[in-house]
Amino acid sequence: MNNRKLYGFALIATLGGFLFGYDTAVISGAVSSLESFFILPYHFSPTISNTLLGLMVSGALIGCVIGSGLGGYCSQKFGRKKSLLLAAFLFLCSGLGSAIPELGFAAPGSGDHTFLSSFIIYRILGGMGVGLASVLSPMYIAEISPAAVRGRLVSWNQLAIVTGILIVYFVNYYIVQLGDDTWNLQVGWRWMFASSMIPAILFFVLLLFVPESPRWLILNKQSVKASKIMQTLNMEGEVQDIEASVAHTDTTTSLSEKVTKRKLKLGPRVWVVGILLSAFQQLVGIQVMLYYAPEIFKNMGEGTDSAMLQTVLVGAANFLFTIIAIYTVDRYGRKPLLLLGSVLMAVFMCVLSVCFYTHNLGLGALICVLGFVASFAFSWGPVTWVLLSEMFPNMVRSKIMSIAVAVQWITNYLVSASFPLLDKNETLVESFNHAFSFGLFGVMASLSAVFVWKLIPETKGKSLEAIENIWTTT
């Protein structure tokens, strides 16, 4: 196997995951600044202000839903590579526009709170890039990887996501140190968003050197070109299996008729598992920990600098334990990691809820936050993407994965947008001291364990074509 080329192409594709993490987490260091710059000047009621804040923080997720929904169509119509190039372009536009929302209407840096709608629009564009990349990067990696290392290479994409999150935490922390509070409220947040332009440009340029997915080429009757690419990767032996999966050795019907027949043979379980897998990944509350980490630590009594530094610890835990997943997902399998992660997340979230409720917010609470993130990082973080990229049949992979990922982003949006309303609700704070949300996440983690135990199949070591037999009916 030509590992150098295979790994090189996979690494380039993971830059989509890197930008996924960078773009979604960059706002974590700017929440207070955005609230002060865009929302407070309007003097809205607390309910409206908190709702607007939730929209600003999670506004990119609207774009994620759109992008992931389009991911299936774009990847099927134009190919995986061209669709990834579109994602890179959207990342670039978003980085520039979010930093300078008044671009084209006023001098750069002179905008004020009246450009709130422009800021949200640019964040939605970035979200569309994230949505496309979240579907296409793991799909592309899975489609160019042999079964023996597919879990590891797709997990690289999750490592890239958490690397992007970790790096942007450091970037945000560095930018915060460049000026005082007034400077950060007016200017610092602009530099945070502008920094994403650098990896976006790099991603676009490097994508020009990767090949198209051979499985997409075969689906589009370009078997000769696909064979050359798979020979480059020393995977030419799989071409016939892929062609058989697509055509089912039936030469009397058209491609559209074959696709229709294949869809009819799919049982409903594949749809249920794909959608619930995506939903539970977000219902456990991981994005709240990533988006609102500084605010959570402030609720623990930490100052701004200390909260930002502890947020870096969250990113480090996310990064280190994702590496564990890379080395275990192809050894121990997908299902055991998910089960263990669910149980540990439930424990840490429930204990954290008790810490808030009892006002015991010292080292124990910090350990719970880091333990929860670590538990997610070696299980539901990477393994969800591995399963989503490999468990759907070739003929309908792009469509079902697109729908499943769209559900994931919708759930992400609902959780992220509702968190400020729950966490800052005066009645809930008075009764539970911020504990209510974390207790709810603990319940969701418990339910995710039941879901994995009952419905998730093991796909370790199976080719993409062999996995189809799990879902199809005769």
Judged on CB neighbours under 10 Å (0-12, 13-18, 19+), 271 is middle
**Tell me, what amino acid is at 22?**
Y
Mean pLDDT of 160-181: 86
Mean pLDDT of 67-80: 89
Give me the helices (H) in 26-107, please: 31-34, 46-78, 80-99
| SS3 category, 300 | coil
Mean pLDDT of 310-322: 82
Give me the pLDDT at residue 266, please.
59
Q: What's the rounded Cα separation, in Å, for the pair 95 and 119? A: 10
pLDDT-derived band at 305 (thresholds 50, 70, 90) equals low
Mean pLDDT of 189-209: 95
Q: Given its phi and psi angles, is residue 219 left (phi above 0), alpha (psi -120 to 50 degrees) or beta?
A: alpha
| SS3 category, 211 | coil
pLDDT-derived band at 298 (thresholds 50, 70, 90) equals low
pLDDT-derived band at 256 (thresholds 50, 70, 90) equals very low
Inter-residue contact 393 to 245 (CB < 8 Å)? yes
Q: Which of 181-190, 299-308, 427-436 has the lowest mean pLDDT?
A: 299-308
pTM of structure = 0.76
Q: What's the rounded Cα separation, in Å, for the pair 278 and 406? A: 9
Pair of tokens at residue 377: 């990082």
Contacts of 4 (CB under 8 A, 6+ apart): none
Give me the pLDDT at residue 243, please.
66
Contacts of 244 (CB under 8 A, 6+ apart): 465
Kindly calculate the radius of gyration of the chain based on its CA atoms and give it in whole angstroms: 22
- The torsion angle over the Cα atoms of residues 36, 39, 41 and 42, rounded to 10 degrees, is -170
Pair of tokens at residue 111: 């905008």
Pair of tokens at residue 227: 């064979």
Contacts of 430 (CB under 8 A, 6+ apart): none
